[in-house]
Structures are given as C-alpha cells and as structure tokens.
C-alpha cells in the first residue's frame, strides 16, 4: 500500500472537493449553465490576480498563454527585453525567437534576480523596447523577482509593456497586478490554483489592448482579442474549453476566495520560511539569493548524489520533490509548498529529507529540521 | 431532480470509470509512472487512427492541433486547398489566413461534399498546392466526406499533403489513416474518445515530416517536431500536459480497444441509421446529402421555431441536442450519436423530439420515430 505525497511546484495536490467536481458528468459549453460558471470563474480570478481587468482563460499549459503574450503584443522584428534567470524565464526568449522578435537579454546567474537598476539601464539603451518579459517566481531556482520595482521603472513608459509569467508564483508570492503596473500577468491551473494542469490564464489591461491592435504576428488559438470578445459578448470561449477543469476551477476559487488572497499569501510565506529554516537547521544551503514562497531550492550537499537523494525520497518514502533542471541537474532539489498545502506537508517533506539523507550516509541529526519548522509554526512564539 | 441527457457532438458523455480516473489524485508528469501511461496511450491511439505512425498529444482544444497542422507544414505565401463546406472546414481557411498561407477554396454548399473530381481539377489548376485541408465529419452539417477518394487523388503527388480534421469523426466514421494516405489526421478528446475536452491529437506520417523540415511559419506550443522528439526520446510532453485527462484517456482507450475500432464503427453506423430512419418516420428531413454516423442534422419543419424546439427538448425534458450554426441557426438541429452511446440514447433523443414537436403543435404521430429506430435495432429482422 503505497502512499504518495506530491511536493512539486506543478502539478500540486488537488483538494478532494475539486476532484469531485472534475468527475461530475460533463455539461455542454454552449449553455446558460456553463456560461454562468465561465463568467463566475472569470470574475473570481480577479481578486487572486489583484486586478480589475479582464482575465482570459485558455485550454492549454501555461506555456500557451506565454506564447499568446508574445504573438498578441508584438510584431516581427520588434525588440523585447527578457530577464533570463532560469529555465522558465528563458522560455520567454525562445518564444520571442520563434516569432522573429528580437530579444535583448538581461542575463542573470540562476538563483539571482536582475536588479531594477539593470533593467532601467537596459531600457535607456534600448528605448524602442516594446515589452519586458519577466517572471514572478522562477520555478527552476525557487527565486522571486522584484516585480513591483520593475513596474515602477516602466510606469512612465507609454510604449513599453511589463509582462509577467506568474505561472508558479500567482497565489503564493504577492503580485498586485493593477497597482504595480503589470500589463499582462500569465498563470496556469496546476499551481496555487490547486487544479490539474490544462488551463492557462492571462490578465490584460487597457494599455496592452492598444499594443494588441498593432501586433501583426500570426495567432489563432491563443488570440487575445477573440478570447476577450467571446468572454464579454457571449460569455463563452471561442473554442471548446476544458469544461471539467473550468467546473472544478469554480470550486477551487471558492476555496481560495474564502481563505482570501492575503491569508493565502501569509500561509505560503510561513510555509516557505519554515522550509528554509528547516533545511538550514539540517545543515543545507538554500540555493536562491531571493527565495520564493512557492518553492524552495536547496543545494545538494557535497558527497551526496542529487538524483539518488530525490529518488530515495520518492521511491522509498513516497515523497515527490523535484530535482534541478538543465545545469542544476543533480546540484539542487526543490521542495514545493504551493497550493493545497499546510504545516504538515512541510513537516512530511523535511522529515523525508532527513531520513533519506541519513539513509545515504549524510551526517544529519534526525529531527533537527522538523524542529526548526515546528518553531516557525508554533504560535507560542 | 433534473436529469440531463447530453446528445451533442462534443462534449459527449464520459463513462463513469473514465470520470473516476480523472478524479484520482494527480501524479507528477516527470515520473516513470506517468511516462509509462503516456507511452501506453500514444500506442493505444494508433488502432483508433488505423495508423502505424506517431500520434502526438497536445493539451488544448482540437483547434490547437489544427493550428499546428498549418504552422508546422507550411511556409508564408504557400498555397493550400481548403474544402469549405461548413463551420469547421472554414476554420482551416481562417487559420491559414492568420498565418499568411494562400487559401485556394473549394466552396461547397453546406450539407454537400466536394466530389473527388472537383478536387482533382483544382489540383491540376494549382499543382503547386502544398496541402489539402479537409474534414472527415463536418459537425455543423452532419456530413461525412469521401476521404478515401481524396487520398487516391493525392497518392501520387509527392509534394502535396492530405490533412484531415477528424475531430468529431474519428471513432464514429471510418478513416484508415495509413491505407488511405492521410498524412496528418487531427482529433480531439471530447468526441468518440469519450473524454472531457482538453486534449488534441495529430497523427503524422513520414511524408509530412519532410514538409515540416522546410516549414518556416512560427510555432512554439504546437511544435510537432518538439512533441515527437519529446515523446520518442523522453516519453514526455515538452510542456506540462493535462495529466488528469491523459490518465483518464488510458481508461477510455481500454474501453474502446476492448470493443475494437471496427465494432465501434458498426455501432455508430447502426445508431446513425436508426436516427435517420426515425426522423424520417416522424416526417422530418435529414439535412445532409451525405449523412455522417457521428451526428445527424435535421431540418426544422415549417411552422416550428428551431430555437424553441431545442430549448423545449433541453429545458423542459433535459435532452440536450445542438441547434444550427451560422446561417443554419434555427433551420436545423443536430442529434449526436457519438462516443459513449447505445440504442437507448437514440430512443431517448427521438422520444424527446416527438414529445417536444407535439408540445409545439406540430402534427406528429407519437411513437412513430421510436418505432422506426427500434426496427433498426431489433436483430429479428
């Protein structure tokens, strides 16, 4: 009887009531019943994004909405700044290049962020930049970026948009889409929204719609204008949507909005802090210089095989954490504390880490990490 | 206590065991466990497509895979023939136009098909045509196209591909992808595959891969080469897939392959025939000149308001059939007999139709349609 614990930054565990909704008999998407649900979820997403603007829903992985943010905002040969600091921020550059958009990279060491000053200087050098693409939480390094400060820099630039990949960040790391001047914020269903993968979202503000009008890149399935028109005029999606996922999203958003976005962010902050304190108490090092509250990347200690460590945690103890990606493979592992997660999910992850390290011969004092996490969770001070 | 019956050509009803799979706790997609499932479903799709070639899976609506078939096969300014004969075949033209592909239309009245001779002549006039885009079952008119004959015409044309939208057709109307020379066959999850919407498929043969190499249209999320490489080399999808849907697909394909594709096609043929005989017995007219076994389009009789008829069937009796689209709105209605459907689903639809017609004052002899359907179903003669 195997019991598994999913501690990855996507997919994340889906609450039972959400799974039950997913399994309900399917309904038709061109009915009053579905239209009501679709309008409702489109509204209930807004407080999570902290926006008054429209939030579009696409049936795809988050990457689909990222592609849409490129193909709907830009024209061939235009310039975009991409803050490259990990696997997912590099995806912005890949998509731009696929569409013939000129990428001006800000190269940052993985685990670091681009300082607002770097962005400011790059913009001065390339004032014709049409879009700055960046990331709220870079999942590959567990790093949170200073989106608020980026937004301040872009505030007075009428012809440059700030587009943020908040796929793993939204609902875990704070982002005030409207207040901070985030023009497009992209997210996905399988992170803090506590759903299976299959839905992608994009909030789009007025400044952006003006840019959309002049974009000449080809687009069809991820056409933002068509999606907006369909939502506002028909209360529908242009193409058959992931109906079961949208029905389940309705329930997930009720759970989230009942807790409230600020309580959710506080919960994630506490889980993040407990995880960081715990791994430090074990004697390990947090990888990121700016650790995110969605996922903690931890350096694999010397003498330990990173893959063997995560394999031991998963295959021996059932606790699934992610390893490193690209050049960080084997060098870090990543414990997510994202979505449908509470104190004892962190305790479980840390406990499995301690036991696995001990199994592999690493000199760990069992219980030290768990104790450090408990100290964060205890309200007695 | 409302009881609903979904008789639409997508979404279609999802069997209970498939829904149960969908609701299982989510698993991670970069694990041995998921890789095994993904490879298994990719294989189990092949007999449904009647192909030995690779079948790619995308997390999107079927339209996404249609867009991929345009953006991966063609280059800007190249020519494609599109057989336009309904809402969905017109989508091929829309996508081509969005990508700057020149569309050579074969315009066909809705409910009709293009004859193989028409295609042959058009190809003679435009020998530089790179792709012929057509449809197996045009959902908007309930029409099945002579794909086999189209394939024969294209057989000796090394530089022209045959691409078929079999989104609603696959598993209901016969298509022998390899034998008939269908180079790319696109489908979706929410039709005969008995799943919720959210997955799209494309079978791709060797002739096509050569064309893919020279295509220069922008693509990222629907990149066929990347999807193939990821499937064959890593047993994965390039981006996070609709995990819960793929897990459920594993179960749906077991149900389908247990019945066997040819038995499934025979079942659909019988359901289609019964529906057609029944509506004729009621005194109504089948709309299509070449009716498909996935969905039957029926002309709304004179003196009856089409919308009121389908609304009566749904809101009063819980039986959801689709109305007409575009210029056929109010003029036809469409009864699907597609996917998880048996004799008594047809009986229910016909019975609801009889009762609703009677309610609206149409001179119908109650039971005549049901009787005609029963005669098709009875094996005694």
Most A-contacting residue of B102, B196, B311, B318 (CB-CB within 10 A), to test interface: B196
A8 touches chain B (CB under 8 A): yes
Last residue of a domain, one of A258, A276, A292: A258
Task: Kindly write down the DSSP assignment for every residue of A233-265, as one continuous string.
Answer: IISS-SS---HHHHHHHHHHHHHHHHH-HHHHH
Q: Are residues B216 and B293 in the same domain?
A: no
Domain of B355: which CATH number? 3.90.1150.10
Average pLDDT of span B230-252: 98
Find out whether A275 and A286 touch, Cβ atoms under 8 Å. no
Residue B165: closest CA among B194, B144, B195? B144
How does pLDDT run across A284-336, given as a tens digit for each residue? 999 999 999 999 999 999 999 999 999 999 999 999 999 999 999 999 999 99
Do B215 and B320 fall into the same domain?
no
How far is the C-alpha of B312 from the C-alpha of B305, rounded, in Å?
10
Range with the poorest average pLDDT among A377-381, B42-46, B139-143, B307-311: A377-381
Whether residues B140 and B266 share a domain: the answer is no
DSSP A231: I
Q: What is the pLDDT of residues B144-172, one digit of tens each?
A: 999 999 999 999 899 999 999 999 999 99
Q: What is the pLDDT of residue A190?
A: 97
Task: Kindly indicate the confidence band of residue A61, based on its pLDDT and cuts at 50, 70 and 90.
Answer: very high
Q: At A145, which CATH number?
A: 3.40.640.10
On whether both B219 and B356 belong to a single domain, the answer is: no
Residues A226 and A335 in one domain: no
Same domain, A155 and A248: yes
pLDDT at A106 over 90: yes
pLDDT at A364: 96
Q: Which residue among A59, A94, A217 sits closest to B198, beta carbon to beta carbon?
A: A59
Pairing relation of β-strands B131-135 and B79-84? Answer: parallel
Residues A329 and A368 reside in one and the same domain = yes
Per-residue CA distances from A9 to A13, A169, A292, A360, B228 (Å): 10, 9, 11, 25, 25
pTM of the predicted model as reported, rounded to 2 decimal places: 0.96
- State how far residue A256 is from chain B, nearest Cα, in angstroms: 19
Q: Which of A10, A189, A220 to mutate to test the interface with B (most CBs of B within 10 A)?
A: A220
Cβ <8 Å between A64 and B221: yes
Note whether B61 contacts A239, CB cutoff 8 Å.
yes
What's the rounded mean pLDDT across residues A273-278? 98
Cβ-based contacts of A64 with chain B (< 8 Å): 59-60, 64, 221, 239
B327 DSSP assignment = G
How many C-beta atoms lie closer than 10 Å to residue B192's C-beta?
Answer: 32
d(CA B287, CA B22) in angstroms, rounded, equals: 37
pLDDT confidence of residue B269: 98
Task: Give the integer Cα–Cα distance in Å for B278 and A320.
Answer: 55
Q: Does B71 touch chain A (CB under 8 A)?
A: yes
A3–chain B Cβ distance below 8 A for any pair = no
**A245 and B198: CB-CB below 8 Å?**
yes
Please give the pLDDT value at position A380.
Answer: 72
Cα A257–Cα A259–Cα A265 angle in degrees, nearest 5: 95
Q: Which of B221, B248, B320, B326 to mutate to test the interface with A (most CBs of A within 10 A)?
A: B221
Q: What pLDDT digit, counting tens, does each position of A279-298 carry?
A: 999 999 999 999 999 999 99
Q: Which helix (H) or strand (E) holds B356?
A: helix B343-359
Residues B265, B221 share a domain: no
User: Which residues from chain B sit within 8 angstroms of residue A336, using beta carbons?
Assistant: none
| Partners of residue B163 on adjacent β-strands | B133, B184
Q: Which residue of A has its CA nearest to B11?
A: A28
B239 confidence band (pLDDT: 50, 70, 90): very high
How far is the C-alpha of A100 from the C-alpha of A77, rounded, in Å? 6
Provide the β-strand partners of residue B227: none
Cis peptide before A253 (omega within 30 of 0): no
Contact A239 B71 (CB under 8 A): no
Q: Is B1 on the interface with A (CB under 8 A)?
A: no
Would the pLDDT of A366 be above 60? yes
Q: What is the pLDDT of residue A1?
A: 86
Residue B319 and residue B285 in one domain = yes
Per the CB < 8 Å rule, is B198 touching A28?
Answer: no
Residue A14, C-beta contacts closer than 8 angstroms, at least 6 positions apart: A22, A194, A195, A196, A248, A252, A340, B25, B26, B244
pLDDT exceeds cutoff 70 at A18: yes
Question: Which chain B residue lies closest to A59 (C-alpha atoms)?
Answer: B60
- Flag whether pLDDT at B39 surpasses 70: yes
Split at pLDDT 50, 70, 90, the class of B380 is confident
Q: Is A6 on the interface with B (CB under 8 A)?
A: yes
Classify the C-alpha dihedral B235-B239-B242-B243 as positive or negative.
positive
Choose from B21, B139, B244 for mutation: most chain A CBs within 10 A: B244
What total number of domains does chain B contain?
Answer: 2
Task: Specify whether A278 is located in the same domain as A190.
Answer: no
**Is residue B276 located within the same domain as residue B252?**
no
Going through A154-290 in order, the beta strands assigned E by DSSP cover: 161-165, 184-188, 199-204
Q: Is B227 on the interface with A (CB under 8 A)?
A: no
The confidence score (pLDDT) of residue A223 equals 98
Find the mean pLDDT for residues B82-104: 98
Determine contact, residues A61/A250, Cβ cutoff 8 Å.
no
Domain end point (choices A224, A258, A292): A258
Tell whether A314 and A352 lie within a shared domain: yes
Largest CA distance in chain A: 63
Contact A317, A277 (CB under 8 A): no
Interface residue B20 vs chain A (CB under 8 A): yes
A197/B59 CB distance under 8 A: yes
Q: Which B-chain residues 192-211 have CB contacts (< 8 A) with chain A?
A: 196-198
Q: How far is B308 from chain A (nearest CA, A)?
A: 14
In this prediction, residue B381 has a pLDDT band, given cuts at 50, 70 and 90, of low
Please compute the mean of the pLDDT values over residues A247-271 and round it to a whole number. Answer: 98
Check: complex ipTM more than 0.90: yes
Give the residue numbers spanning the domain of A252: 16-258
- Alpha carbon distance B60, B241 (integer Å): 9
CB contact under 8 A, A197 and B320: no
Domain boundary at A202, A232, A258, which? A258
Q: What is the band of A381 on the pLDDT scale with cuts at 50, 70, 90? A: low
């Amino acid at each position: 009887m195997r019991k598994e614990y999913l501690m990855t930054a996507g997919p994340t565990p889906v609450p039972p009531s959400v799974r039950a909704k997913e399994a309900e008999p399917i309904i038709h998407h061109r009915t009053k019943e579905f239209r009501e649900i679709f309008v409702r979820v489109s509204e209930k997403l807004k407080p999570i994004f902290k926006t008054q603007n429209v939030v579009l829903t696409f049936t795809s992985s988050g990457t689909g909405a990222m592609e849409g943010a490129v193909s709907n905002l830009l024209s061939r040969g235009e310039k975009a700044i991409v803050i490259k600091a990990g696997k997912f921020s590099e995806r912005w550059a890949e998509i731009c290049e696929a569409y013939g958009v000129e990428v001006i990279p800000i190269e940052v060491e993985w685990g670091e962020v681009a300082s607002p000053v770097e962005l400011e200087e790059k913009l001065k050098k390339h004032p014709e930049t049409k879009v700055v693409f960046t990331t709220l939480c870079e999942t590959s390094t567990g790093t949170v970026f200073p989106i608020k400060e980026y937004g301040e820099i872009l505030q007075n630039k009428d012809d440059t948009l700030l587009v943020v990949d908040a796929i793993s960040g939204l609902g875990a790391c704070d982002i005030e889409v409207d207040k901070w001047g985030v023009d497009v914020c992209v997210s996905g269903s399988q992170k803090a929204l506590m759903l299976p993968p299959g839905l992608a979202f994009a909030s789009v503000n007025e400044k952006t719609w003006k840019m959309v009008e002049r974009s000449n890149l080809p687009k069809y399935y991820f056409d933002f204008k068509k999606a907006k028109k369909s939502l506002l005029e028909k209360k529908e999606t242009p193409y058959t949507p992931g109906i079961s996922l949208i029905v389940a999203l309705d329930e997930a958003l009720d759970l989230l909005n009942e807790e409230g976005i600020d309580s959710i962010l506080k919960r994630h902050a506490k889980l993040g802090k407990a995880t960081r304190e715990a791994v430090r108490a074990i004697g390990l090092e947090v990888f990121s210089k700016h650790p995110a509250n969605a996922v903690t990347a931890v350096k694999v200690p010397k003498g330990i095989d990173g893959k063997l460590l995560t394999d031991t945690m998963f295959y021996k103890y059932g606790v699934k954490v992610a390893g490193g990606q690209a050049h960080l493979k084997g060098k870090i592992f990543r414990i997510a504390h994202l979505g449908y997660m509470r104190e004892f999910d962190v305790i479980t992850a840390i406990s499995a880490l301690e036991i696995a390290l001990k199994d592999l011969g690493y000199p760990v004092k069992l219980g030290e990490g768990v104790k450090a996490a408990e100290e964060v969770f205890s309200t007695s001070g």
